[in-house]
Chain A
Amino acid sequence: MTPQIGGSGALVLGIETSCDETGIGIVRGTTLLANVIASSMEEHARYGGVVPEIAARAHLEALTPALKAALAEADVTLGELDAIAVTSGPGLSGALMVGVGAAKALAVALNKPIYAINHLVGHVGADVLRDDGTEIALPTIALLVSGGHTSLLLVRDLVSDVELLGETIDDAAGEAFDKVARLLGLPYPGGPEIDRVAATGNPAAIRFPRGLSQPKDLEKHRYDFSFSGLKTAVARWVEQKRDAGEPVPVADVAASFREAVTDVLLTKAIAACRDLGVPRLLLGGGVVANSRVRELAGVRCADAGIELRIPPLSLCTDNGAMIAVIAAQLIESGHAPSNLSFGADSTLPVTVIQA
């Protein structure tokens, strides 16, 4: 029962609970109507990272209020919806299951079709919802960076052709920011803190290693990332200063660390654009909030003649609207709904756009 849709596109409600944000979004076709996000970030602060069980408990409490708020924001009723969409993976499995359980029951209660959507593809879909009048152009390379993932994708078609080029083989980039912030005595989440402190530092003060960037590594891991060695290198450098009784130049360490992460992210992303002849780079994920990432992306893309696309930050961090819009695109192109028996898949491959 693929929904029959009018001219302005399918009206879809999307539910996203893969990490610590409870996101409910509503879209009509390519138009954003509501983007409500409840975050449990503060509850994780004292642990220095997302605690899965705390995130899952918070989703359960946040879901119904977020649903209400989104419907009010979009000024639509449940009965008007054409479909329900939900993130089925990848992500934290206990957290994903809260959204999957709720989405299925809502779909059955309303007798509406349900679409199980890949979270990473959702991040790319966020670009469809920009309100600056420009349309997403494909194919594109997509660099998705957050506390939970660091992935480089080749997207030829949003609903039928997404390929994983590479991903982190250890920590996510956002995780590295959290760990280094902690090392420097800065609060969680680390990204904004490192960014703030780095503003007055010298990014060339310390040459921290760029993971998987040596010729030998590039053979096997051309588009993969590794931040674990970098994190250790920063820790060792700071320890040596402290052991020697010297003050730690926090701003320089933060700036140099941020530069190492940003450099490696963009070097690999631009290489992918060049190697594959794709003149476009799309950024997504919470690390897009980092000013140096945006700045260096602008410079490198301009130098290489690559078009840079960065959706608004409220659509770059995890949200339900990006999940809803992929479902709307699937409906638009005639894809049938998901079977009601799909599960939460914490390692759902990016090639599986709809589960």
Chain B
Amino acid sequence: MLLAIDTSAGTSVAVVDRDLGTLVEIGEADTRRHAEVIGEAIRSAIDRSGVAASALSGVAIGMGPGPFTGLRVGIAAAQAFAFGTTKPLVRVVSHDAVAWGHYAAGNGGRLLVVTDARRREVYFSAYSGVDGEGLPVRVQGPGLCRPDDLADTVDGYHGFERLDAAEVSAASVGLLAEGLYLHRREFAGPEALYLRAPDATVSAGPKRVS
């Protein structure tokens, strides 16, 4: 049983179980209110699932890619919740969760997941399909480019079904994490997937004022 969180788009919190599936999922589509809603979302997900925090086996978090400020709220919350309950924290690529949801719904084939990166850019990840365990196989990405450049950036772009995702489901994050754990696959690394360097320029020196 996992508490799962994703704030790479809106705010999504879920409690999932490998056998029982999604026990509860709470979503707030607003992409600017992560800090406001994260606490209540976690509390009501726990309350409504009827699962005590102490009974969870871990916490799953979507590491992005996603716009930084919101993305960090979920990661900070997941880290702190795992620390507070002394449960393990497992990380997945948020796009992998989108792909997992797509394939779990009965779809097949090659898939290109695209999400908004703001500043007239998009994040993308490409999948060839699922492996023998039903887990998505990422063949490219996550990456960042301008929408017009996707066709040139993604290898074999025209062979993919394109999925523009406005939301990332925490339930998918959690169920993907359960699958990765069950089949001894690697989780994502500890670094948030920003895919962009911070805006900062090293100034050449003080400007003249006179």
Whether B80 lies near A101 (C-beta < 8 A) is yes
Closest Cβ of chain A: how far from B202's Cβ, in Å? 5
CA distance A111 to B81 in the complex (A): 11
Q: What is the chain B residue whose CB lies nearest that of A238?
A: B206
B209 in contact with A235 (CB, 8 Å): yes
In the complex the two chains form, is A105's CB within 8 Å of B78's CB?
yes
Indicate if the CB atoms of B200 and A94 lie closer than 8 Å. no
Contact B192 A108 (CB under 8 A): no
CB-CB nearest in chain A for B197: A53
Taking chain A's interface residues, is the majority helix, strand, or loop, or is none over half, making it mixed? helix
B interface size (C-beta, 8 A): 40
B206→A183 contact, CB < 8 A: yes
Are A106 and B40 CB-contacts (below 8 A) given A57-B198, A60-B192? no
Known: A101-B38, A101-B77, A107-B39. A94 touches B202 (CB 8 A): no
- A63 to B42 alpha-carbon distance, docked (Å): 19
Contact B194 A57 (CB under 8 A): yes
Cβ of B73 under 8 Å from chain A: yes
Q: B156 near A: Cβ within 8 Å?
A: no
Enumerate the 4 nearest inter-chain pairs by beta-carbon distance, A residue then B residue, closest first: A109-B84, A104-B39, A53-B198, A105-B77
Q: Which of B20-69 contact A (CB under 8 A)?
A: 33-40, 42-43, 46, 53, 68-69
Closest chain A CB from B19 CB (angstroms): 24
Residues from chain B with a CB closer than 8 A to the CB of A59 are 76
How far does the alpha carbon of A182 sit from the alpha carbon of B203 in the complex, in Å?
A: 11
Instruction: Say yes or no: is A98 at the interface (Cβ < 8 Å to chain B).
Output: yes
B23 to A: closest C-beta gap in Å: 17
Q: Are B84 and A110 in contact (CB under 8 A)?
A: yes
Any A CB within 8 A of the CB of B83: yes
A100 to B68 CA separation, bound complex (whole angstroms): 15
Q: Are A182 and B34 in contact (CB under 8 A)?
A: no
Q: Please encode chain A, from 153 to 196, with 1 for each CB lying within 8 Å of some chain B CB and 0 for all others.
A: 00000000000000000000000000100110000000000000
Pairs A–B under 8 Å by Cβ, sample size 28: A53-B198, A53-B199, A54-B198, A56-B69, A57-B192, A60-B72, A60-B76, A60-B192, A64-B83, A93-B69, A94-B69, A97-B34, A98-B72, A101-B75, A101-B77, A102-B80, A104-B77, A105-B76, A105-B81, A106-B83, A109-B80, A109-B84, A183-B206, A235-B209, A235-B210, A239-B210, A240-B210, A343-B33
Contact status A101-B76, CB under 8 Å: yes
User: In the assembly, what is the distance between CA of A106 and CA of B76, in Å?
Assistant: 10
Contacts of A342 on B, CB cut-off 8 Å?
A: 36
A100 touches B202 (CB 8 A): no
Name the interface residues of A82-136: CB closer than 8 Å to any CB of B. 93-94, 96-111, 114
Per-residue CB contact flags for chain A residues 327-350 toward chain B (1 = under 8 Å, else 0) read 000000000000011111000000
Closest to A338 in B: B39
Q: Are A97 and B35 in contact (CB under 8 A)?
A: yes
Shortest distance in angstroms between B203's beta carbon and chain A's nearest beta carbon? 6
Residue on A nearest B5 in the bound complex, by CB = A105
Name the A residues within 8 Å of B203 (CB-CB): 47-48
Contacts of B77 in A (CB 8 A): 101-102, 104-105
A window 53-90: CB within 8 A of B: 53-54, 56-57, 59-60, 63-64, 67-68, 78
Q: A63-B80, A109-B84 are in contact. Are A101 and B68 (CB under 8 A)?
A: no
Closest to A93 in B: B69
Contact of A51 among B43, B72, B200 (CB under 8 A): B200
Task: List 16 other contacts, CB 8 Å, given A60-B79, A235-B209.
Answer: A53-B199, A56-B72, A57-B72, A63-B79, A67-B80, A68-B83, A97-B72, A102-B79, A109-B83, A109-B84, A182-B205, A183-B206, A239-B210, A340-B43, A341-B39, A342-B36
Max count, chain B CB within 10 A of own CB: residue among A63, A67, A179, A340: A340
Contact with A along B78-108 (1 / 0, CB 8 A): 1111011100000000000000000000000
Interface string of A215-248 (1 = CB under 8 A from B): 0000000000000000010011001100000000
Q: Is B185 an interface residue (CB 8 A)?
A: no
Q: Which residues of B contact A99 (CB under 8 A)?
A: 76
